[in-house]
Amino acid sequence: MTPSQARNSIKKALKAIVDPKPKKNDKDVIWLFFESKCAYCGISIKKESRLGHIDHLHSEMENGSNKLCNLVLTCSKCNGDEKRERDWKEFLKFKCRNDKKAYLERKSKINSWVRMNGDNSLLPRSTFELLESEFKRIDKVFSDSIEKLKNTEI
């Protein structure tokens, strides 16, 4: 493991303490609600195909949480290749292009899901800031340790 990979692991571990990843049962509920279809493009996805992804409506980089209200079922193309960090509403418009009926149906389904599951998709700002400050503190100690080890003779 490289120092960069270790830093990423540390950051993920800290976040998991206050905002754990969804459990298998949670993922099953998402698959069931979205009827094994991508929330954005509507394509059917077979669960065993591994082409289905659980996507954040509001990305983790934008303070999005792992709460059910912030997670939807997507196909690998929409999540992995196209959406990236785009706003989900803008991305949905892009996917539906001129099909206003599909856009309204999919948006309504996503909004229903969000309302059913708490409508609180962002981490509290204070929690996000505490995570960032604690990570910076740990990262400083980690970086200092790396420098000490680099200067050690074998």
Per-residue pLDDT of the chain (154 residues; tens, 9 = 90+): 999 999 999 999 999 999 999 999 999 999 999 999 999 999 999 998 889 999 999 988 888 999 999 999 999 999 987 887 789 999 999 999 989 999 999 999 999 999 999 988 899 999 989 999 999 999 999 999 999 998 887 7
Q: Residue 120: its pLDDT value, please?
A: 85
Q: Residue 16: its pLDDT value, please?
A: 94
Instruction: Decide: 44 and 37 in contact? Cβ < 8 Å.
Output: yes
Task: State CA 149 to chain mean position distance.
Answer: 35
CATH for the stretch 17-122: 1.10.30
User: Residue 39 phi/psi, 5° resolution?
Assistant: -65, -25
Quick: pLDDT tens for 80-114.
Answer: 878 877 899 999 999 999 899 999 999 999 999 99
The end-to-end CA distance of the chain, in Å, is: 20
Q: Residue 86: its pLDDT value, please?
A: 84
Closest CA to 19 of 135, 121, 134: 121
Q: Which secondary structure element, helix H or strand E, spans residue 60, and what is its range?
A: none
Domain boundaries, the chain: 17-122
CA distances from 65 to 36, 43, 107, 152 (A): 22, 25, 20, 41
Q: Residue 34: its pLDDT value, please?
A: 98
Which residue bears the tokens 């059917």? 44
Instruction: Decide: 141 and 16 in contact? Cβ < 8 Å.
Output: no
Q: How many residues does the chain have?
A: 154
